[in-house]
């Protein structure tokens, strides 16, 4: 979906738009969507629709953003499937009430780890610095295994999208050290052309 297909800023978004101490555009608080990518969890949720699915990565992301005063507006659970992931993210970035989308899971090197490919197919602009910084921070925690992470980020339909591993530790590191501090600025910059 090209940027022109997304609606202009709503009055609510305009009210959350501000500038920081350096005059940079920000959106605060942010409205967040989380997509958990896990075939096993999706199957378990389908088998027992009354039980909340076990989702430690998604729960960690939600806590990190809520602790910083942001609001999680949507949580989805999808299989490790290119089309399912792409469809979920594509629908979220088209929504006016979502400022940032995060996926968790499916960033490794197994055959069904396709989250980076599915999300990157939607990117208009990549944010290579995110993956570089994340792997650098991960080095301190897991050593050489950091090279196996294909965490990535980019802008899709004026919305920052971050593709994270599924582990709680990785989600916490990515959110606390990188995404939560910078996401209001990224969301503000990605949408600035709508109000100029």
We report the CATH number of the domain holding residue 24 as: 3.40.980.10
For residue 10, give both structure tokens: 């709503």
Dist. CA 85–CA 35, nearest whole Å: 8
| Domain ranges, residue 175 | 12-194
- Work out the angle at residue 80's Cα, subtended by the Cα atoms of residues 84 and 96, and round it to the nearest 5 degrees: 40
Tally of structural domains, the chain: 1
User: Do the domain assignments include residue 125?
Assistant: yes
**What is the spatial distance between Cα 45 and Cα 41, in angstroms, rounded to a whole number?**
6
Q: What is the pLDDT of residue 3?
A: 42
pLDDT on residue 51? 65
Residue 37 lies in a domain: yes
Residue 45 pLDDT greater than 80, yes or no: no
| Residue 3 belongs to some domain of the structure | no
User: Does residue 124 belong to any structural domain of this protein?
Assistant: yes
Residue 105 lies in a domain: yes
Residues 137-156: tens digit of each pLDDT: 999 989 899 999 999 999 99
Does 7 fall in a domain? no
* Residue 5 forms part of a structural domain: no
pTM for the model = 0.90
Task: Give 182: exposed, middle or buried? Use CB within 10 Å, 0-12, 13-18, 19+.
Answer: middle
Helical H segments across the chain, by residue range: 11-16, 39-47, 56-67, 82-93, 115-120, 128-142, 168-174, 180-191
Q: What is the DSSP letter of 148?
A: G
């Amino acid at each position: 979906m090209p940027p022109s297909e997304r609606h202009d800023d709503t009055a609510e978004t305009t009210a959350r738009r501000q500038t920081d101490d350096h005059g940079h555009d920000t959106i605060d608080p942010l409205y967040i969507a989380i997509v958990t990518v896990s075939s096993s969890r999706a199957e378990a949720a389908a088998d027992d629709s009354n039980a909340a699915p076990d989702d430690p990565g998604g729960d960690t992301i939600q806590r990190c953003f809520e602790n910083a005063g942001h609001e999680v507006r949507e949580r989805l659970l999808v299989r490790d499937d290119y089309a399912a992931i792409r469809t979920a993210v594509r629908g979220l970035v088209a929504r006016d009430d979502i400022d940032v989308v995060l996926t968790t899971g499916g960033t490794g090197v197994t055959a069904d780890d396709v989250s980076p490919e599915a999300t990157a197919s939607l990117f208009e602009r990549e944010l290579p610095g995110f993956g570089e910084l994340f792997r650098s921070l991960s080095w301190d925690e897991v050593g050489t295994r950091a090279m196996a992470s294909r965490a990535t980020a980019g802008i899709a339909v004026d919305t920052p999208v971050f593709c994270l591993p599924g582990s709680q530790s990785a989600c916490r590191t990515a959110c606390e050290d990188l995404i939560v501090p910078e996401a209001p600025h990224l969301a503000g910059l990605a949408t600035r052309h709508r109000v100029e």
